[in-house]
């Protein structure tokens, strides 16, 4: 077994993945966040999410990397819901109807993955821009549904400003790539910084909404 | 040629640790009716410098060496070509994997203990959880000047919390209460 370093590495990494999954799910159960049944599902899901792309890489070497990205993106998407929207819902920060939200989110996910597939033969790094932009724009209905419609975290005017800023960020990335011909490494670093205002604004508005609701409830 | 293997060498399951610490921060802030955004924001900073370095390595440096990690349509994993067991064991297993396992386990249990203790005593856990997580994911150059991302940093957090609990540390006008 140890003569094959890749297999050895994967076995060790799978054990560690299982360790983190069991530990995380156990503590979530112990602190009353999830039930025991959901903890078991979470362990299985967490392990399978990690395993899927590894199976793809190891067993289907003739498949180009993009289908691997497409499938692993689909498998890993519940993680982004659990670590954001589910937390807000469970801690009673927001109210949410799950069926319309999941429907809108699935729409965004399908748009994201189809665009990635359609652009699979584009030269890199452009491929990293277009599908991501399409997916971000497709995610706006789900974002709007949570932050504007279901919960008045942003007014229509404020939401429009946020959306315009996101569009501006995208245009500036395209401008940097095609007109300024900056290397992708510089663009990606600048993008991290350009996303700070949106993250900050969203967190401040969620906090303001949450605290106003708590004050209202205590009166 | 290690690059082709790179996507394989990541550990899964760590997202549950992010999930639980974020949950505790928001839950604690709800209970105490205090602001959460500064504590959450520092965990969402990312690392512009590391992003720059990793993408420079992938998109500018590697193609000049004849390596295109993103354009390998018919790449086949023939392990006999690239990796030697000793090299893999030395680099991944002993150092990166083992230390991250120890560091993160220590950090996780310290955070869990502080969370439980605050719940019992009615204290606020958010600053402790947030700083404990932040020192694990500090962006450059903060991590350069404060190299506390390992379990040593967590021991400082634990000592700080115990000193605070015993009344030797205070912050704010009213001692943070």
- Chain B contact set for A204 (CB, 8 A): 37
Interface predicted TM-score (ipTM) of this complex, two decimals: 0.89
Q: Number of folded domains in chain B? A: 1
Residue B109 inside a domain? The answer is: yes
Contacts 24+ apart (CB under 8 A), A32-36: A33/A90, A33/B20, A33/B23
Helix (H, G, I), strand (E, B) or coil at B22: helix
Contacts 24+ apart (CB under 8 A), B115-119: B115/A31, B115/B24, B115/B28, B116/A31, B117/B161, B117/B165, B118/B28
Residue B121 inside a domain? The answer is: yes
The predicted model scores a pTM of: 0.87
Shortest CA gap B58–chain A (Å): 9
Q: CB distance from A12 to chain B under 8 Å?
A: yes
Provide the 8-state DSSP code for B47: -
Asked if A149 contacts A205 with a C-beta cutoff of 8 angstroms, the reply is: no
Residue B71 inside a domain? The answer is: no
Residue B72 inside a domain? The answer is: no
**pLDDT above 90: residue A10:** no
Q: Which residue of B has its CA nearest to A20?
A: B13
Q: Are A9 and B26 within 8 A, CB to CB?
A: no
Tell me the per-residue pLDDT of B122-177, one tens digit each, with 9 for 90 and over: 999 999 999 999 998 888 888 888 888 888 899 999 999 999 999 888 776 554 44
Identify the pLDDT of residue B78.
55
- Strand extents, DSSP E, A54-179: none
Residue B40 inside a domain? The answer is: yes
* Structural domain boundaries, residue B99: 13-45+85-166
Residue B62 inside a domain? The answer is: no
Q: Are A19 and B15 within 8 A, CB to CB?
A: no
Write the residue in A20, A42, A214 that is nearest to B33 by C-beta: A214
Residue B52 inside a domain? The answer is: no
Question: DSSP H helical segments within B75-97, as ranges?
Answer: 79-82, 85-88
Q: Are B97 and A12 within 8 A, CB to CB?
A: yes
Residues in contact with A95: Cβ distance below 8 Å, sequence separation at least 6, in sequence order: A89, A150, A151
Asked if B119 contacts B31 with a C-beta cutoff of 8 angstroms, the reply is: no
- Chain A contact set for B70 (CB, 8 A): 65, 124, 127
Tell me the per-residue pLDDT of B52-93, one tens digit each, with 9 for 90 and over: 988 887 777 777 766 665 554 444 555 555 555 555 666 666
Question: Judging by beta carbons within 10 Å of its beta carbon (0-12, 13-18, 19+), is residue A67 exposed, middle or buried?
Answer: middle
Residue B124 inside a domain? The answer is: yes
Interface mutation vs chain B, best among A4, A7, A10, A13, most B CBs within 10 Å: A13
Interface contacts A/B by beta carbons within 8 Å:
190
């Amino acid at each position: 077994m140890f003569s094959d370093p890749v297999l050895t590495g994967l076995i060790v990494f799978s054990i560690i993945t299982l360790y983190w999954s069991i530990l995380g799910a156990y503590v979530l159960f112990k602190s009353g966040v999830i039930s025991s049944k959901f903890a078991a599902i979470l362990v299985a899901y967490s392990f399978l999410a990690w395993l899927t792309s590894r199976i793809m890489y190891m067993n289907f070497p003739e498949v180009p990397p993009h289908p691997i990205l497409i499938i692993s993106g689909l498998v890993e998407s519940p993680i982004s819901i659990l670590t954001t929207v589910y937390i807000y819902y469970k801690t009673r920060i927001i109210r949410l109807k799950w069926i319309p939200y999941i429907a809108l989110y699935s729409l965004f996910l399908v748009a994201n993955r189809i665009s990635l597939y359609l652009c699979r033969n584009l030269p890199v790094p452009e491929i990293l821009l277009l599908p991501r932009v399409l997916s971000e724009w497709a995610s706006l209905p789900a974002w709007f549904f949570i932050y504007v419609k279901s919960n008045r975290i942003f007014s229509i005017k404020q939401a429009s400003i946020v959306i315009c800023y996101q569009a501006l960020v995208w245009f500036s990335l395209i401008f940097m790539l095609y007109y300024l011909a900056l290397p992708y490494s510089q663009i990606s670093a600048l993008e991290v910084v350009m996303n700070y205002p949106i993250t900050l604004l969203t967190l401040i508005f969620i906090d303001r909404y949450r605290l106003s609701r708590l004050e209202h409830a205590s009166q | 040629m290690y690059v082709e293997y790179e996507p394989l060498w990541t550990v899964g399951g760590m997202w549950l640790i992010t999930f639980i610490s974020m949950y505790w921060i928001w839950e604690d802030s709800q209970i105490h009716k205090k602001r959460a955004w500064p504590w959450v924001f520092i965990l969402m900073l990312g690392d512009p410098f590391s992003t720059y370095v990793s993408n420079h390595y992938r998109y500018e440096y590697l193609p000049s060496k004849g390596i295109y990690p993103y354009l390998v349509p018919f790449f086949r994993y023939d392990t006999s070509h690239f990796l030697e067991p000793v090299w893999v064991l030395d680099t991944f297993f002993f150092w990166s994997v083992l230390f991250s396992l120890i560091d993160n386990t220590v950090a996780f249990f310290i955070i869990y203990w502080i969370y439980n203790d605050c719940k019992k005593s009615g204290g606020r856990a958010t600053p402790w959880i947030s700083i404990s997580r932040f020192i694990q994911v500090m962006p450059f150059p903060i991590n350069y000047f404060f190299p506390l991302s390992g379990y040593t940093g967590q021991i400082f957090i634990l000592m700080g919390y115990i000193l605070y609990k015993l009344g030797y540390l205070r912050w704010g006008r009213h001692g943070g209460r």
